[in-house]
Amino acid sequence: MKTLATVSIEFWLRFKPQIRPTRLAINFLFVTARAEKK
């Protein structure tokens, strides 16, 4: 069973060619990780 973080990472990697690894993307992963803990 995929976790929210796993799905988010896969989603980000899928659109990686269009989205550069910026602080926004990194922050998105951190926020997702926090949300998963709750």
Higher pLDDT, 15 or 38: 15
Write the pLDDT tens digit of every residue in 5-14.
Answer: 788 778 877 8
pLDDT of amino acid 5: 79
Global pTM reads: 0.36
Write the pLDDT tens digit of every residue in 15-35.
Answer: 766 656 677 778 888 888 888
* Region of 3 on the Ramachandran plot (φ > 0 left; ψ -120 to 50 alpha; else beta): beta
Dihedrals φ, ψ of 34, to 5°?
-65, -45
* Residue that is written with structure tokens 């995929």 in the block: 2
The dihedral sign for the CA sequence 12, 24, 21, 6: negative
